[in-house]
């Protein structure tokens, strides 16, 4: 393989990678719509006395596990 052939292959690979994909937006929207990525309208532990709602013996570190469905 010559240098010119290698350069051509690299340029083609980079162009394929940078090309916008028409279905990409729908994949991202489906990912965001999954229940495991949503949060519930609930006051976090740190919003009150600072204790974690899941494990009250520790302070809330705002992991948002208590606001999710836990997956």
pLDDT tens profile 8-44: 999 998 888 787 666 555 655 665 667 777 777 776 6
| Residue 59 bridge partners (DSSP) | 51
**Confidence band (pLDDT; 50, 70, 90) for 6?**
very high
- C-alpha dihedral (45, 49, 52, 57), degrees to nearest 10: -170
Q: pTM of this prediction?
A: 0.40
3-class SS shares of the chain: helix, strand, coil, % to 5 = 50, 5, 50
Listed in sequence order, the residues at least 6 apart from 67 whose beta carbon sits closer than 8 Å to its beta carbon are 39, 40, 42, 44
């Amino acid at each position: 393989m010559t240098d010119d052939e290698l350069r051509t292959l690299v340029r083609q690979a980079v162009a394929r990678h940078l090309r916008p994909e028409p279905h990409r937006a729908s994949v991202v929207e489906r990912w965001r719509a999954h229940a495991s990525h949503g949060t519930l309208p609930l006051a976090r532990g740190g919003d009150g006395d600072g204790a974690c709602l899941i494990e009250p013996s520790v302070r809330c570190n705002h992991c948002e596990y208590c606001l999710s469905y836990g997956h």
